[in-house]
Structure 1
Amino acid sequence: MRRTAVPLIALLALLGPTVPAVAQAAAPAGSIVWGPCDPADEAPERVVCAELQVPVDWRKPAGPTVTLALAKLPATDQARRLGPLLINPGGPGGSGVSFAYTAAEAFSTAITDRFDIIGFDPRGQARSNVVQCDSDAIVAQAALLHPEDRTEYAALRETNKALAKTCEEFTGPLVKYADTASVARDMDAIRAGLGEQRISYYGVSYGTMIGQQYAELFPGRIRAMTLDSNMDHAQGIADYQKWESLAMEDSFRQFDAWCARTEGCALRERGALAYFDELYARAEAGELIVDGHSFIPEALPSLVFGYLYDPAAWFQLADDLIYIGSGAPAQRGRGEPRPNGYLPVMCSDFHFDVGTFSALRAVKKAQNRLAPHTRFNPLAWSDLASCQNWPYGVTNPPHRLRASAKLPPILIANSRYDVATPYQWGTSLASQLPSSTFLTYEGVGHGTYWLSPCAQAAIDTYLVERRTPAKGAHCPAVFPDSPAAAMAASGPVNPLPQLIGPFRR
């Protein structure tokens, strides 16, 4: 049985006095019809699925539509059900449907007992008309992300433009309307289709951007909202790169300190930081050979980046650095062509185009000074380099959030050392949301809910009881002391590595 697609009716949404009105369609109340999920997905027991049509361009609610995929894990204790908890795992590109499939393992019973957990794939992602681009253009862009001169920079700009045009060719006009404000409006159409006056929301990583913009557009429609590991839409180019580079450097320094005091770390005697510096110097000299080819210096921070999401992977990180240094063949196939929905979002949400090669080089040099060991943050640099000369406009310009007095208490959580969403972004966001309480996890990693039992308990309590922690609350750092302990960690299972991969938020 296919999921049921629900057409929309046109009406004008009341967005509040500080946000420009947008002609908007909403689903008829309670019109979402749940049924069996796609058999190919092998969805877990009790999970049901649906579809919902929303306008490609919310300014033209009667125009072309995109179909959103939804999945629901119903509350175990229906008698004490608190309503829907919409969830998003980040990205852009992470699948909310797949997140809902894993919800029984990813969230505590405090959450799964009381909420209908609802995941949706944002427009242009996963099952919701995923953006497709030419695979050769994707490969060509990846080879040019670190231009050394004006000629290479010009080639990057032309390649970015050509890549974007292939995305439009294969996907259609949705490429121009993948911005986060449109996703937030989609989420309110889901709320209406559920027949709910208010929703609760948990968003992690890029999912916090969706929550932030929903809070700005629809402040009176929120029951509770947790924003975990936060992006900050107010960031300009310089601060975006600065905080990301420092987050990369500081997180790697935490890995070095952990390795020095941890018996099972393979680099304990040699020193992780010193060894990494040796590898970088060998790569700069063209002497780091892997699989018969020179390993370029920029590939080393990229190798490290994904491991800094969760200290549970640090034993493997030490092993892999030794493996690279030994010159052994790296198992790095190119694989099949894949969707490319990330860039249409980032290039629509931020002003990243610096214009000239000199300006781009100045940004790179500033990063290198801030991060003398890791040099730069691979994810932030890819965002910047990939959006040069993107041919479609910034439809959702960066700005400080316009917080309404209608907003309920909101819980913001961030790790002190987060390589993907820096701590400073979380504190900046908290300053923009007067109704928020900020919870600091003093450890390393991305997604505090799965890194810290203390943070998890605070988030559970808030979502269920709408009771925030005390102002200035902190949770202690947690580090693995052996590979076995890292593998045997109990509690909810972190789904982010599978849902978003190492180079997404």
Structure 2
Amino acid sequence: MQFHLLRPRQRPFLFTLILMFFLAACNGNEPTPTPTATTAVIAEQPTDTPTAAPTATETAVPAPTDTPEPTNTPEPAYEPVFETAACQFDEPEGHDVTCGYLIVPEDRSQPDKTIRLHVAIFASESDNPAPDPVVYLEGGPGGDALEAMPFTFDDNFAPLLADRDVIIFDQRGTGYSEPSLACPESIEADLDIIDEVVPLEEEIDISLDAAAACYNRLVDEGVNLAAYNSLENAADVNDLRIALGYDEWNLYGISYGTKLAMTTMRDHPEGIRSVILDSPYPLSVSLTEDFPANAARAFDIFFAGCEADSACNEAYPDLETVFYNLTAVLDEEPIVVQASNFFTGDRYDAVVEGTDLMGVLFQSLYSAEIIPVLPQMITDSAAGDYQLLGLLLSNNLTNQEFFSVGMYHSVQCHEEIGFDSLENVVAAVDQYPQIADLLAAPELDFLLCNVWDSGSADATENEPVSSDIPTLILSGEYDPITPPAWGELAAETLSNSFFFEYPGIGHGASVSGDCPQSMTIAFLSDPTSEPDSGCMADMGGPAFAVPSDLSVADLTLVPFSTDLGIAVVEGVIPDGWEEQFPGVFVRGENGLDQTAVLQQGAPGVPADSFLELFTAQLGLDSDVENVGSYEDVNGRSWDLYASTLQGLPVNISLTESDEATFVILLIANNEDEQAALYEGVVVPAMDAIAIGE
């Protein structure tokens, strides 16, 4: 029974990743920069039923309380150092970023041994930025913040750059920080049995053996796992501010990042101008003991939301019954679904039992973009169509690449499980028999912590944090892991806080829509005033996806021009499709919409080289098949090819002219849409594509 407190990714990355690798190959670059030697210098300061009506509440007290004295903060016997270094991640295009490492003690009570945390400072777009940047605190615990930047920065963080710098770093034990507490042993153990039906007791033993192998390896490497906890993590946050030379900054945490933010507010309040707590995880709650009730609440809200939506209820009647009947069937007769790790390209035959389906639904309720597609996924799966289920399984597999399991174990075993009772967890599980599949093996966390010795936290780590620092608290109605009630609980002891619950969205409210994001930005501008919540009146339940027929008449084409580096390409694209990378456009109709078109042109590159590159980079399911030709309005002859990718239809159109070699790639959600998209998108694109000025 393990689910991590990560911010949701915007959507499954399949084609974003594949096309990014393709573009990197076209330009002769590797997807990930090679590390370079660092320069040791201190950096100068860088320039539940849907709610009837959304409400905002300010926690009021007769008079502001003084921020309590920090705990456990003796005078440091070291000086934190920031060294500039090359960015170890693919830098988002169009942004000025400085990278480096924060060097701090692994254990501040014994400061001789140091560790290195990878840091990225994104410069504000303003000519006169505010002096107080935003520092982002990733979820998990164990989430890798920087590796995901190419996929998340523009949507989630770039809007904050209008007025101030943004600092993002890999917390100790995660991502590109050194040492890494990643546990490939656990991932490999899971993948070894992904295509098998394994008895629960055996699966527990496999998990424990893998955790023990990772633990022993890290200890043999000299890692002090008892030092990887929120107390030391919060000290890292404060040391980063000192090393970078900022007098003040703003903390922005999502999920576990809120627990880290509150720990920092308690222990290091100096220099904190304001705090954003998105999907709060208060120190005083029990994630493990409350998990059954939180999951059941989210499931109930989801099914009630579809039933209350006339279009959803008509398209997917009796959805709750269909879902629970399907889980019962899968427990008796598991199915095999094709799933992939989009990041590595590895493909798997995944056995799906009832517990797996429940896990997919639970994990998917994190994402506001995926929630609208879940009724269709359930209904399709019950009818034997597993395409959407496979995409969600693939998304979960891919997200493992952005997570350091050892950091999760170290933090949770140190400061969560020690305050929990297996007896209480079992009693909580017994109250929700309908989701028993999701709550299997409640003893696993306790057994893992017997293996993973990371010490025990002081009782202070299980007590509410009191502070008068201005704080914005955001929660999502559908959040399955950190319910809105936890946001209200956090607000009770944060005297200058504003709490908002947003309808129709899940985990990570601030990155789940224009309204919460605009309110977040407004709060940063003036954290002592309640942000205008008028936009919440226009928010409702999820816009559940229902079946519809696509026709060419539905498509309006608009011109585009994009600089590929080797050439400027012009052409046409459907209105509203978003350019994620140069020449790569995605429809993004919902969180599982994989529809995308790539339009590229390269002077002097032979057509057969382009085709070979596609075949090598995309990892198509089969060899491309020549299915015909097309002569465009300019008299150019195009060779037409077809294949599939992860079971989705692919069209490739290729022509070699005096001007350049052009390629147009279309990926469709299904064969039903493929024909309409070919006629409405690909044919006009072949007619229009050209090299621009």
Is 1:50 matched with 2:116? no
State the SS of the aligned residue for 1:79: coil
Indicate how the Cα distance of structure 1 residues 118 and 283 shifts in structure 2: closer, same or farther if over 3 A, else same.
same
Match runs of 1:425-504 below 5 Å: 425-469=486-530, 475-476=536-537, 477-481=539-543, 483=545
Question: Is 1:200–1:225's contact at 8 Å kept on the other side of the alignment?
Answer: yes
Q: Report the AA paired with residue 351 of structure 1.
A: I
| Larger RCO (alpha carbons 8 Å, 6+ apart) | 1
Aligned to 1:123: 172
Q: Deviations over 1:341-379 (max 9, x none)?
A: 322222222135878xxx45x624522424634764689
Question: Is 1:201–1:225's contact at 8 Å kept on the other side of the alignment?
Answer: yes
Aligned to 1:232: 282
Indicate how the Cα distance of structure 1 residues 395 and 471 shifts in structure 2: closer, same or farther if over 3 A, else same.
farther
Q: Which has the higher helix share?
A: 1
- Greater alpha carbon shift after TM alignment, 314-323 vs 183-192: 314-323
Shift of 1:241: 3.8
Aligned to 2:27: none
Indicate how the Cα distance of structure 1 residues 276 and 153 shifts in structure 2: closer, same or farther if over 3 A, else same.
closer
> Matched residues in 2 for 1:148 and 1:366: separation?
23
Q: Which has the higher strand share?
A: 2
Match runs of 1:346-365 below 5 Å: 346-352=412-418, 359=422, 363-365=425-427
Q: Report the AA paired with residue 391 of structure 1.
A: D
Shift of 1:155: 4.4
Is 1:276 matched with 2:323? yes
Q: CA RMSD in A?
A: 4.4
Indicate how the Cα distance of structure 1 residues 318 and 17 shifts in structure 2: closer, same or farther if over 3 A, else same.
closer
Q: Deviations over 1:212-252 (max 9, x none)?
A: 0110011122011111101121124xxx3454323322222
Aligned to 1:19: 71
Q: Deviations over 1:160-200 (max 9, x none)?
A: 76245335246532433110111111111110111112211
Q: What TM-score, normalized by structure 1, do the two folds share?
A: 0.78
State the SS of the aligned residue for 2:274: strand
Aligned to 1:178: 228
Question: Is 2:208–2:447's contact at 8 Å kept on the other side of the alignment?
Answer: no
The structure with the larger Rg is 2
Structure 2 gap ranges (5+): 1-35, 44-66, 338-348, 548-574, 581-587, 593-693
Question: Is 2:226–2:453's contact at 8 Å kept on the other side of the alignment?
Answer: no
> Matched residues in 2 for 1:453 and 1:434: separation?
27
Aligned to 2:113: 64
Indicate how the Cα distance of structure 1 residues 136 and 220 shifts in structure 2: closer, same or farther if over 3 A, else same.
closer
Structure 1 gap ranges (5+): 9-14, 499-505
Match runs of 1:308-327 below 5 Å: 308-326=365-383
Aligned to 1:287: 333
Question: Is 2:477–2:504's contact at 8 Å kept on the other side of the alignment?
Answer: yes
> Matched residues in 1 for 2:359 and 2:436: separation?
9
Aligned to 1:82: 131
Shift of 1:138: 6.3
Aligned to 1:372: 434
Indicate how the Cα distance of structure 1 residues 243 and 294 shifts in structure 2: closer, same or farther if over 3 A, else same.
same
Aligned to 1:139: 189
Aligned to 2:263: 213
> Matched residues in 2 for 1:392 and 1:190: separation?
24
Indicate how the Cα distance of structure 1 residues 261 and 158 shifts in structure 2: closer, same or farther if over 3 A, else same.
closer
Shift of 1:278: 0.2
Match runs of 1:22-41 below 5 Å: 22=74, 24=76, 27=79, 32=82, 34=84, 36-38=86-88, 41=90
Question: Is 1:290–1:324's contact at 8 Å kept on the other side of the alignment?
Answer: no
Q: Report the AA paired with residue 390 of structure 1.
A: W
Question: Is 1:452–1:475's contact at 8 Å kept on the other side of the alignment?
Answer: no
Indicate how the Cα distance of structure 1 residues 387 and 427 shifts in structure 2: closer, same or farther if over 3 A, else same.
farther
Question: Is 1:24–1:60's contact at 8 Å kept on the other side of the alignment?
Answer: no
Indicate how the Cα distance of structure 1 residues 97 and 294 shifts in structure 2: closer, same or farther if over 3 A, else same.
closer
Question: Is 2:157–2:166's contact at 8 Å kept on the other side of the alignment?
Answer: no
State the SS of the aligned residue for 1:230: coil
Q: Report the AA paired with residue 363 of structure 1.
A: V
Match runs of 1:328-343 below 5 Å: 331=390, 339-340=404-405, 341-343=407-409
- One of 229, 254, 278 as aligned partner of 2:301: 254
Is 1:162 matched with 2:212? yes
Aligned to 1:502: none
> Matched residues in 2 for 1:468 and 1:98: separation?
35
State the SS of the aligned residue for 2:464: coil
Task: Give the % identical residues.
Answer: 22
State the SS of the aligned residue for 2:146: helix
Question: Is 1:121–1:128's contact at 8 Å kept on the other side of the alignment?
Answer: yes
Shift of 1:309: 1.3
> Matched residues in 1 for 2:442 and 2:525: separation?
35
Shift of 1:54: 0.8
Shift of 1:57: 0.4
Question: Is 1:211–1:225's contact at 8 Å kept on the other side of the alignment?
Answer: yes
Shift of 1:451: 2.8
- One of 462, 465, 468 as aligned partner of 1:399: 462
Q: Report the AA paired with residue 229 of structure 2.
A: D
Indicate how the Cα distance of structure 1 residues 388 and 435 shifts in structure 2: closer, same or farther if over 3 A, else same.
farther
